[in-house]
């Protein structure tokens, strides 16, 4: 069981800590409205993430990329917008899927597992901090032989997460690549 789960709206509200108005009754089923969170703020962050992934990791548009912990799918969308069309996003939060299914009438592009998709690159977005070291090993063992990249937050002080320095993460998982988001740093 992860150290931290994001099963409810309150979990996401607390994590994003935005003064965003929760929209109810949205009938617009386009990705321009992802559950009422402030898209202008959050999508620009996703575009920055996508650009940094492409530049720091030298990603190619024909690579099959899996994003674990993709939340509302904005990074997937941002990569799609610049020609990366083999990107799949997975988030296991029951809250995310319930709301996306309500908003998109069951046609959401965010999945609960990768099915038959065989990624060449797996990117975790602020996911590994939610697991103990042993749970993380179990979670990622199915991706042995695949390039594993982890976006991590190292500059936050929280006791409910498994926060480590970039160097500590690299010591724990020496074959993986780590990206620190603020400031952007690759190890």
Chunked in runs of 10, what are the mean pLDDT values of the chain (187 residues)? 62 50 37 50 82 94 91 86 90 70 56 79 88 89 92 77 85 91 69
Question: What's the confidence (pLDDT) of residue 94?
Answer: 73
Q: For residue 78, what are the CA distances in angstroms to 1, 19, 52, 135?
A: 30, 23, 11, 30
Question: What's the confidence (pLDDT) of residue 14?
Answer: 59
- Residue 103 sits at φ, ψ, to 5 deg, of -75, -35
Q: What is the CATH T-level fold of the domain 9-20+32-186, as seen in this structure?
A: Rossmann fold (3.40.50)
Q: What is the spatial distance between Cα 44 and Cα 97, in angstroms, rounded to a whole number?
A: 23
Question: What's the confidence (pLDDT) of residue 61?
Answer: 96
Q: pTM for the full model? A: 0.77
Q: What is the spatial distance between Cα 138 and Cα 180, in angstroms, rounded to a whole number?
A: 23
Question: What's the confidence (pLDDT) of residue 155?
Answer: 72
Question: What's the confidence (pLDDT) of residue 143?
Answer: 92
Question: What's the confidence (pLDDT) of residue 92?
Answer: 74
Are the beta carbons of 67 and 88 closer than 8 angstroms? yes
Enumerate the domain spans of the chain: 9-20+32-186
124: Cβ–Cβ under 8 A, 6 or more apart, which residues? 67, 68, 69, 148, 149, 150, 151
Question: What's the confidence (pLDDT) of residue 147?
Answer: 95
């Amino acid at each position: 069981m992860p150290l931290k789960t994001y099963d409810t709206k309150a979990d996401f509200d607390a994590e994003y800590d935005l003064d965003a108005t929760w929209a109810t009754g949205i009938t617009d089923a386009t990705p321009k409205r992802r559950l009422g969170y402030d898209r202008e703020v959050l999508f620009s962050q996703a575009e920055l993430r996508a650009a940094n992934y492409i530049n720091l990791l030298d990603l190619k548009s024909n690579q099959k990329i899996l994003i674990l912990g993709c939340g509302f799918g904005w990074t997937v969308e941002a990569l799609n917008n610049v020609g990366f069309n083999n990107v799949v996003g997975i988030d296991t939060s029951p809250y995310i899927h319930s709301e996306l299914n309500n908003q998109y009438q069951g046609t959401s592009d965010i999945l609960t597992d990768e099915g038959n998709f065989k990624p060449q690159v797996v990117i975790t977005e602020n996911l590994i901090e939610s697991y103990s070291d042993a749970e993380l090993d179990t979670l990622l063992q199915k991706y042995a032989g695949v390039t594993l990249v982890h976006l991590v937050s190292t500059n936050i002080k929280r006791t409910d997460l498994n926060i480590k320095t970039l160097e500590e993460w690299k010591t724990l998982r020496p074959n993986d690549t780590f990206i620190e988001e603020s400031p952007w740093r690759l190890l």
